[in-house]
Amino acid sequence: MHRLQVWLMNLWVYPLLFLWTITGLLISPLGFLLWRRLSNWSVAKIARHFIWIYGRGWMLIVAPFVSFKRSGFDKAYRQRTPCIYVINHLSFFDTYCMALQPVSDIAFAVRAWPFRRLFWYTAFMRLARYLDVEADGFDVSVEQAQAITAAGGSILFFPEGHRSRDGELQRFYSGAFLLALKLDLPLVPLCITGTDTLLPPGTFRMRPAKVRMQALPPVNPADFSGDDAHILMRKQVKKMMVQKIKEMRVGS
């Protein structure tokens, strides 16, 4: 039965995902004009909202085979001022699962390859003001992040920089923590499990899964000082995430 489910899932999801993507590309120009007139949002905020909607649509497509659950996203979370998010990275589909969040005004900080290889997505990433941290460098990324957060948006990092091959947290890069300190913004750890079952690195074959996302309490950059403040923050956040991910796996 499990093998049959896997085949049915892949025959169901990939064609619908392709149609959903093509439909989104075709209607997005009209959608931008309509959203702009009705909301008076910036183009970047509209693009981020459309990316969030795209992720929600993807979640509906896989819903017959994947259960989603989120926790820690209470009213206070939705009303939080701009912040820096960090989340562990298990699968290509992690980005789609960011639509589990109840907020959409989030720009991703990513490496250069998505801008070069995901040609159907590149224009939206540019419009959404995603940070190309590898190509632009830290100083330029700080300026861009400052503009985004000043307008009410937030920034999301995958601090490992790449997908984990064994499900364990890898070495964290310092960019997110340096940025939180530089902009004096709270840093919110997010933990996700199950996407490595859904689509493991190195394969295109999806499998039924239980995807869980947990928001942890925000970390205040003011609690860290000195030349190694970003290192201390990085270690504390990683420790928090390691513990929570263990708990989530036991409870799944």
- What average pLDDT does the segment 147-157 reach? 96
Fold of 2-251: Glycerol-3-phosphate (1)-acyltransferase (3.40.1130)
Write down the pLDDT at residue 158. 95
Q: pLDDT band for position 193 (50/70/90)?
A: very high
Asked if residues 67 and 59 have their Cβ atoms less than 8 Å apart, the reply is no
Give 84-132 pLDDT, tens digit per residue.
Answer: 999 999 998 999 999 999 999 999 998 766 666 677 788 888 899 999 8
Q: pLDDT band for position 3 (50/70/90)?
A: confident
Q: DSSP secondary-structure letter at 79?
A: T
Lowest mean pLDDT among 67-76, 110-119, 174-183: 110-119
pTM over 0.85: yes
- What average pLDDT does the segment 35-58 reach? 94
Positive or negative: CA dihedral 139, 143, 144, 149: positive
Cα within 13 Å of Cα(179), Cβ side = 32
Q: Where are the alpha helices (DSSP H) in 40-132?
A: 43-62, 75-78, 94-97, 113-117, 119-127
Asked if residues 114 and 163 have their Cβ atoms less than 8 Å apart, the reply is no
- What average pLDDT does the segment 206-216 reach? 96
pLDDT of 252 > 70? The answer is: no
- What average pLDDT does the segment 233-239 reach? 97
Asked if residues 201 and 165 have their Cβ atoms less than 8 Å apart, the reply is yes
Asked if residues 41 and 35 have their Cβ atoms less than 8 Å apart, the reply is yes
Task: Name the residue ranges covered by the structural domains of the chain.
Answer: 2-251
pLDDT of 46 > 90? The answer is: yes
pLDDT of 1 > 60? The answer is: no
Helix (H) / strand (E) element for 108: namely strand 106-110
> What token pair was written down for 216?
């942890």
